């Protein structure tokens, strides 16, 4: 993809403010009082499982659906009530929706033609945008003569050519194979950086969200349950749902025993005690509350002999897999199975199914969450 110098970039994208938006279908709240800000020039991802309301929310921003209540502002101007054509958003869907009878250039020209841009100017703008997305040599190809990744770039070029207020992407990489999907993730980020465009991105793929986002808004059952940087949401989830959905984690039922400033002590059913971090943005925890101690697999260590940790257990290896950059083990300990991931493959030398190991973790790496089943 062609890299752009600062003076070649388009005008910065605009901010989008969503406030208390509700969308009902009968008695079902597809979106329930959702509020968030897409900052100018950032990539914000709506991440959640199927049925969480993320695509419905994007469709309301785009103008293809109408909220029952709430406002959607673009740089402070409410666009609810305007049609999709009256809003200045570029939209890319998973299927790309390219016109099969048109060339790449003609597809990119189309939104300019709808805006009555003169023929010579729209041709020039389309060719420039295709060059920006690395397709300058394929302007006369039709979609059927292009790969999935190339079609994806044509769809992006078409959505960007008229300098939209923001780019709305609904699962745009879902139809690509793994290698092409990863390549396109970085190319979209490069476009965001060089063009300064604001992007609202919808996906159910946690790794994709972590790779691409400036911030992630996690959705579940029509609501946003946490917003933050990929690191903060992953490291300090507010709820058991966020911890379990955004990557793998080990969950241990416990009860709150005592409190510190930002930590708490917990006690397990077998009487063992541990400690962990409490999220200030999560639900309020009280003494004797049923809770969960969440520890990510990469924070669980296979301990060497005489090595110690804040919390330790002896266990038996049930599974052990070498995955190139890391090893993954499943260890049965204290009647539970613990996932352990280590990039230090030397640490797992000699580990095999059936071997006895000691595992442990630091209390600073354990997150205490309210037990949703309490």
Domain ranges of the chain: 6-235, 240-370
The hierarchical CATH code for the domain 6-235 is 3.40.50.300
- CATH class of domain segment(s) 240-370: mainly beta
d(CA 21, CA 31): 7
Kindly calculate the radius of gyration of the chain based on its CA atoms and give it in whole angstroms.
24
d(CA 312, CA 293): 14
pLDDT in tens, the chain (374 residues): 443 333 343 456 899 999 999 999 999 999 999 999 999 999 999 999 999 999 999 999 999 999 999 999 999 999 999 999 999 999 998 887 899 999 999 999 999 999 999 999 999 999 999 998 889 999 999 999 999 889 988 999 999 999 999 999 998 887 778 888 888 888 889 889 888 999 999 999 999 999 999 999 999 999 999 999 999 999 999 999 999 999 899 999 999 998 877 889 999 988 899 999 987 777 788 888 899 999 999 999 999 888 999 999 999 999 999 888 889 999 999 889 999 999 887 777 778 899 999 999 999 999 999 877 65
């Amino acid at each position: 993809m062609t890299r752009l110098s600062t003076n070649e970039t388009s005008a910065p994208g605009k901010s989008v403010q969503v406030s208390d938006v509700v969308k009902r279908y009968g008695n079902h709240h597809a979106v329930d009082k959702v509020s968030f800000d897409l900052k100018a020039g950032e990539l914000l991802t709506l991440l959640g499982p199927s049925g969480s309301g993320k695509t419905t929310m994007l469709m309301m921003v785009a103008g293809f659906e109408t909220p029952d209540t709430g406002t959607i502002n673009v740089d402070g101007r409410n666009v609810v009530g305007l049609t999709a054509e009256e809003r200045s958003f570029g939209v890319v869907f998973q299927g790309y929706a390219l016109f099969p009878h048109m060339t790449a250039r003609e597809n990119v020209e189309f939104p300019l033609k709808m805006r009555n841009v003169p023929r010579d100017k729209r041709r020039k703008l389309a060719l420039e945008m295709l060059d920006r997305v690395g397709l300058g040599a394929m302007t006369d190809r039709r979609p059927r003569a292009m790969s999935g990744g190339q079609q994806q770039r044509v769809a992006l070029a078409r959505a960007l050519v008229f300098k939209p207020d923001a780019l709305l992407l609904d699962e745009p990489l879902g139809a690509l194979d793994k290698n092409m999907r990863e390549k396109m993730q970085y190319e979209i980020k490069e476009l965001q950086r060089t063009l300064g465009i604001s992007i609202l991105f919808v996906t159910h793929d946690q790794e994709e969200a972590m790779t691409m986002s400036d911030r992630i808004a996690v959705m579940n059952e029509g609501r946003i349950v946490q917003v933050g940087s990929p690191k903060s949401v992953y490291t300090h989830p507010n709820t058991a749902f966020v911890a379990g959905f955004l990557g793998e984690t080990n969950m241990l039922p416990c009860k709150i025993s005592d409190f510190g400033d930002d930590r708490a002590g917990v006690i397990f059913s077998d009487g063992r005690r541990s400690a962990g971090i409490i999220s200030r943005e999560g639900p309020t925890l009280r003494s004797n509350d049923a809770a969960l101690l969440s520890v990510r697999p990469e924070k669980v260590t296979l301990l060497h002999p005489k090595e110690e940790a804040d919390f330790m257990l002896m266990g038996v290896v049930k599974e052990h897999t070498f995955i190139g950059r890391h090893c993954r083990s499943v260890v049965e300990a204290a009647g539970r199975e613990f996932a352990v991931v280590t990039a230090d493959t030397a640490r797992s030398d000699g580990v095999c199914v059936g071997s006895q190991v000691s595992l442990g973790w630091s209390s600073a790496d354990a997150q205490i969450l309210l037990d949703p089943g309490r």
